[in-house]
Amino acid sequence: MFTMKDIAKEAGLSQPTVSLVLNGHYSICAETRKRVLETAERLGYRRNEIARAIKTGKTNVIGIIGGLQGGYSLDIITGIAEACAASGYFMKLLPVNNLENDPDALGQAARQCVEHRVAGVICRSLKEHALDTLRAELDAMHIPIVLVDSSSHHDWCSRVVSDDFAGIKEGVAFLLKQGHRKIVQVTSPLNLEYARIRADGYLAAMRESGLPVSEDMICEIDTMLELSDNDKHKLAGFLKTNKPGAVICGSDPVAMKVLRICHEMKIAVPDDMSVIGFAGLDYTNFSSPPLTTVEQPFCEMGAKAFELLLRHINGDQKIYDVKLKTSLIIRDSTGKAKEKMVLLEK
Amino acid sequence: MFTMKDIAKEAGLSQPTVSLVLNGHYSICAETRKRVLETAERLGYRRNEIARAIKTGKTNVIGIIGGLQGGYSLDIITGIAEACAASGYFMKLLPVNNLENDPDALGQAARQCVEHRVAGVICRSLKEHALDTLRAELDAMHIPIVLVDSSSHHDWCSRVVSDDFAGIKEGVAFLLKQGHRKIVQVTSPLNLEYARIRADGYLAAMRESGLPVSEDMICEIDTMLELSDNDKHKLAGFLKTNKPGAVICGSDPVAMKVLRICHEMKIAVPDDMSVIGFAGLDYTNFSSPPLTTVEQPFCEMGAKAFELLLRHINGDQKIYDVKLKTSLIIRDSTGKAKEKMVLLEK
DNA sequence: TTGAAAGCGATACCAT
DNA sequence: ATGGTATCGCTTTCAA
């Protein structure tokens, strides 16, 4: 493993000169320049980012803190990755999975970011209180943080999310256009912040259209992918009571459960009932029928998060709160309302 | 951002002493030890891994090279992540997506690994020829490589894969036990190495059971998730010709296509025909019916890959080729053969 | 235009 | 048990 010193010796020059050439300074005459580059090439020199970092005090590495689960995290990371690469940055992955069991896991990840002198941190959807640990650790070292896909906003750090409120409203609008009036929501427990926001979007959309709506028209079920007996009872009861023409779900997993229950209850989707999901996860392509869903721009969210982080790294102190537009993917789980003709007549 | 020197000054000690304490050397008396630790705590000292790395010449970072796509890559990374964390290592992500367009993308990733002085590299499923670039770059710097999920084995680096050959055979065995005899395969193009292996597994399983089989009973379709007209024709024709009681697919995406075609052709799964996939991707939970599939142990593969890499980092020169067992997940796309009774009688 | 020397923050060896 | 000093590979003045 050759160093600049080796090149210098080979080329009969001083080591700092080699450094200058290799960093593209123009104060070096073409002749020496050429000699240095040739020897570097010949020896197969590879610059040592570590040594550079220790001197400059800066690394071109950002930390990615957050669980790896969830299906969509890969898209977020992909988005970050592309933006990173374009700016010559690298990602160090700090997976934090067992936040519930180990409350200090996050603090540890943050400390590791500091120890590795990352230039900044992108952090995904963490529980409220956990963030304080993060903040305490990173703020002290002036390492900027950007939150991505985090339901709650803070005035001390930037954040990138999808505009779920608008997204749900778009979904409802689509259902309305299809002639649906009896629209209900099935969603994850409302104490989850994202679920609450999407519920509010649903309520607002309905009210703005002058349709009757109440919290009773929202059914909360587990976030787990598996359909429990509890879920089944609750959902079946809810659907029987409300006899909705359409269901706008708070998430894709929930939508999958709805689809499954419909199948069991012999409710034909979309003929008897339309279903819309939320997220745009891979598997919604493969449900039966393929799910109409509000797609969150995960990739763009990742890219935007990096863009903001880079600004902060470069000294921008402003706090941003970016909401990215969702887009409705229309597939086969939605159709025109049966009662449409009637409604159009009145 | 305080350094050891700062602590030393504060505590009235020398900086090397501080280093010793902070690294847990026992040659330091309790009194000084305490003083150092207290000052470090008070100042909020955080060790500088960069500085440490430059001195020791080693980093506790490994590079992960490979595309982020594919659905299962997240599981592999998760597996690596857990093993990493347990050994105090970190992952630097070097996504290489556009290998086809940019043949040097891989070389660049490798060079970056060198520049960052990673301790080792785990690399995912790359085209044959591309590997040479990787090898040339990393071997020169004595950075060990472990291949994960790569169909072809090399004598110059270790590799971890799932035992697809055995996996397919297990799938076929299950179908046989269900009474099926007329079993065919639908798979990705056979010039893809993984497809070839799985095809061979299918052929072997059939032959070992004394059942008639030939390459004609294998149907190749595109790997793309979208079902093209071409695929449709081919598949429909294939199914009509062979009238199989069961299909063992070379991959989950292919299985999804088969399911969809069956739906269009009004072939009831599993009543008229059983279908088995290969991989165990998320979305196979949600197809209709949920797919019986041969699950590859992606997470374990990642963990194992790191374990091997760590050995190499620690000087082990031996080349390993590890095949991890798959496991059959039985869901609803498979059932007993209709002709079962008949067969049992004879 | 180039070289000499200092220093980044740590480790390691040799003294004391 | 502690301190001195050299060193890692590089960047960065400052002279020459």
Q: What is the pLDDT of residues A127-141, one digit of tens each?
A: 777 788 889 999 999
Bridge partners of A57, per DSSP, are none
Residues of chain B with C-beta less than 8 angstroms from the C-beta of A48: 54, 115, 117
Taking the C-alpha atoms of residue A185 and residue A294, their distance in angstroms, rounded to an integer, is 14
| pLDDT tops 60 at residue A228 | yes
* Nearest residue of chain A to residue B62 (CA atoms): A92
Tokens 């290489």: give the residue. B96
Mutate to test the interface with B, among A23, A43, A46, A332 (most CBs of B within 10 A): A46
> What is the side-by-side order of every strand in the sheet holding A183-187?
A218-220, A183-187, A246-249, A274-279, A292-295, A327-329
Q: Return the closest nucleotide (C1') to the Cα of B33.
A: D1
Minimum-distance residue to C7 (CA–C1'): A55
Angle (CA) A105-A109-A114 rounded to 5° is 145
What are the tens digits of pLDDT across the range A311-329?
Answer: 999 999 999 999 999 999 9
Q: Does the CA dihedral A313-A316-A319-A324 come out positive or negative?
A: negative
Extract the tokens encoding B324.
């991890």
Judge: A288–B287 Cβ closer than 8 Å, yes or no: yes
Judge: A61–B94 Cβ closer than 8 Å, yes or no: no
**Crossing angle between the packed helical segments A130-140 and A105-115, to the nearest 10 degrees:** 20
Alpha helices in B141-192 (DSSP H): 164-177
Classified as helix, coil or strand, B105 is helix
- Omega into B270 within 30° of 0, i.e. cis? yes
Taking the C-alpha atoms of residue B77 and residue B11, their distance in angstroms, rounded to an integer, is 43
Q: Is there a contact between B248 and B183 (Cβ–Cβ < 8 Å)?
A: yes
Taking the C-alpha atoms of residue B13 and residue B15, their distance in angstroms, rounded to an integer, is 7
Per-residue pLDDT, B105: 84
Q: Return the closest nucleotide (C1') to the Cα of A7.
A: D9
Per-residue pLDDT, B73: 86
Taking the C-alpha atoms of residue A43 and residue A32, their distance in angstroms, rounded to an integer, is 16
Q: Which nucleotides of D are covered by protein (CB under 7 A)?
A: 1-13
What are the tens digits of pLDDT across the range A230-251?
Answer: 999 999 999 999 999 999 999 9
Q: In the structure, how far is the CA atom of residue B142 from the C1' atom of nucleotide D1, in angstroms? A: 39
User: How many cross-chain Cβ pairs, A to B, lie less than 8 Å apart?
Assistant: 112
Q: Is there a contact between A295 and A326 (Cβ–Cβ < 8 Å)?
A: yes
Please check whether residue A136 touches B, CB under 8 A.
no
Judge: B93–A95 Cβ closer than 8 Å, yes or no: no
Residues of chain A with C-beta less than 8 angstroms from the C-beta of B81: 68, 93, 95
Write b or e for each residue in A266-294: b if 16 or more Cβ atoms lie within 10 A of its Cβ, otherwise e.
Answer: ebebbeebbbbbbbbbbbbbbbbbbbbbb
Q: Is the CB of A54 under 7 A from strand C?
A: yes
Judge: B78–A71 Cβ closer than 8 Å, yes or no: no
Instruction: Determine which helix (DSSP H) or strand (DSSP E) holds A123, and give its type and residue range.
Output: strand A120-124
Q: In the structure, how far is the CA atom of residue A17 from the C1' atom of nucleotide C1, in angstroms? A: 10
Please check whether residue A224 touches B, CB under 8 A.
no
Judge: A68–B81 Cβ closer than 8 Å, yes or no: yes
Taking the C-alpha atoms of residue A295 and residue A5, their distance in angstroms, rounded to an integer, is 54
The shortest CB-CB distance from B53 to any of A50, A64, A90 is to A50
Per-residue pLDDT, B298: 97
Minimum-distance residue to C9 (CA–C1'): B51
Per the rule left: phi > 0, alpha: psi between -120 and 50, beta: everything else, A58 is beta
**Candidate from A289-293, A311-315, A339-343, B105-109 with smallest mean pLDDT:** A339-343
* Nearest residue of chain A to residue B114 (CA atoms): A46
Q: Is there a contact between A334 and A255 (Cβ–Cβ < 8 Å)?
A: no
Tokens 């080591």: give the residue. A15
Q: Which residues contact A182 (CB under 8 A, 6 or more apart)?
A: A242, A243, A244, A245, A246
Q: What is the distance in angstroms between the CA of the first residue and the CA of the last residue of chain A? A: 82
Classified as helix, coil or strand, A168 is helix
Q: Return the closest nucleotide (C1') to the Cα of B25.
A: D1
What are the tens digits of pLDDT across the range A262-275?
Answer: 989 999 999 999 99
Q: What are phi and psi of A118, to 5 degrees?
A: -65, 155
* Nearest residue of chain A to residue B44 (CA atoms): A140
Alpha helices in B12-159 (DSSP H): 15-22, 30-43, 49-56, 73-86, 105-115, 130-140
Tokens 């979208």: give the residue. B226
Minimum-distance residue to C4 (CA–C1'): A14
Judge: A74–B73 Cβ closer than 8 Å, yes or no: yes
Count of other CB atoms within 10 angstroms of residue A7: 26
Q: What's at B147, amino acid-wise? A: L
Residues of chain B with C-beta less than 8 angstroms from the C-beta of A111: 46
Q: Which residues contact A97 (CB under 8 A, 6 or more apart)?
A: A67, A68, A69, A105
Tokens 């089944």: give the residue. A232
Identify which of A86, A66, A217 has the alpha carbon closest to the alpha carbon of residue A145. Answer: A66
Please check whether residue B90 touches A, CB under 8 A.
yes
Taking the C-alpha atoms of residue B23 and residue B30, their distance in angstroms, rounded to an integer, is 14
Q: Which residues neighbour strand D (beta carbon < 7 Å)? A: A 1, 3-5, 15-16, 19-20, 22-23, 47-48, 51-52, 54-56; B 12-17, 20, 27-29, 31-33, 54-55, 57
Please check whether residue A22 touches B, CB under 8 A.
no
Residues of chain B with C-beta less than 8 angstroms from the C-beta of A288: 263, 287-288
Strands (E) located in chain B: 61-66, 90-95, 120-124, 145-148, 158-162, 183-187, 218-220, 246-249, 274-279, 292-295, 321-324, 327-329
Q: Is there a contact between A146 and A308 (Cβ–Cβ < 8 Å)?
A: yes
- Omega into A103 within 30° of 0, i.e. cis? no
Per the structure, the residues numbered 6 to 35 in protein chain B that have their CB within 7 angstroms of any atom of strand C are: 15-16, 19, 22-23
Taking the C-alpha atoms of residue B219 and residue B238, their distance in angstroms, rounded to an integer, is 7
Per the rule left: phi > 0, alpha: psi between -120 and 50, beta: everything else, B142 is left
| pLDDT tops 60 at residue A75 | yes
For B26, counting Cβ atoms within 10 Å of its Cβ (0-12 exposed, 13-18 middle, 19+ buried), the class is: exposed
Identify which of A176, A183, A174, A123 has the alpha carbon closest to the alpha carbon of residue A326. Answer: A174
Kindly give the confidence (pLDDT) of every residue in chain B, 346 residues in length, as a single tens digit, with 9 standing for 90 and above. 899 999 999 999 999 999 999 998 888 888 899 999 999 999 999 999 999 999 998 899 999 998 887 778 899 999 999 999 999 999 999 988 776 667 688 889 999 999 999 999 999 877 777 788 889 999 999 999 999 999 888 999 999 999 999 999 999 999 999 999 999 999 999 999 999 999 999 999 999 999 999 999 999 999 887 889 999 999 999 999 999 999 999 999 999 999 989 989 999 999 999 999 999 998 898 888 999 999 999 999 999 999 999 999 999 999 999 999 999 999 999 999 986 444 443 3
Mutate to test the interface with A, among B50, B257, B261 (most CBs of A within 10 A): B50
Q: Which residues contact B126 (CB under 8 A, 6 or more apart)?
A: B65, B66, B96, B99, B106, B134, B150
Extract the tokens encoding A305.
């998060």
Extract the tokens encoding A87.
């700016």
Extract the tokens encoding B103.
């043949």
For A171, counting Cβ atoms within 10 Å of its Cβ (0-12 exposed, 13-18 middle, 19+ buried), the class is: buried
Q: Return the closest nucleotide (C1') to the Cα of A52.
A: D10
Q: Is there a contact between B84 and B113 (Cβ–Cβ < 8 Å)?
A: no
* Nearest residue of chain B to residue A70 (CA atoms): B74
Domains delineated in chain A: 4-47 (1.10.260.40), 164-296+329-345 (3.40.50.2300)
Please check whether residue A101 touches B, CB under 8 A.
no
Q: In the structure, how far is the CA atom of residue A16 from the C1' atom of nucleotide D14, in angstroms? A: 13
Q: Are strands B321-324 and B292-295 parallel, antiparallel or unpaired?
A: unpaired
Alpha carbon A249 to its chain's center:
19
Judge: A68–B51 Cβ closer than 8 Å, yes or no: no
Q: Is there a contact between A94 and A65 (Cβ–Cβ < 8 Å)?
A: yes
Judge: A49–B116 Cβ closer than 8 Å, yes or no: yes
Please check whether residue B283 touches A, CB under 8 A.
yes
Q: Is there a contact between B75 and B299 (Cβ–Cβ < 8 Å)?
A: yes
Residues of chain B with C-beta less than 8 angstroms from the C-beta of A92: 61, 90-93
Extract the tokens encoding A283.
């598997």
Alpha carbon A130 to its chain's center:
18
Classified as helix, coil or strand, A275 is strand
What confidence category does residue A285 fall into, taking pLDDT thresholds of 50, 70 and 90?
confident
Please check whether residue B166 touches A, CB under 8 A.
no
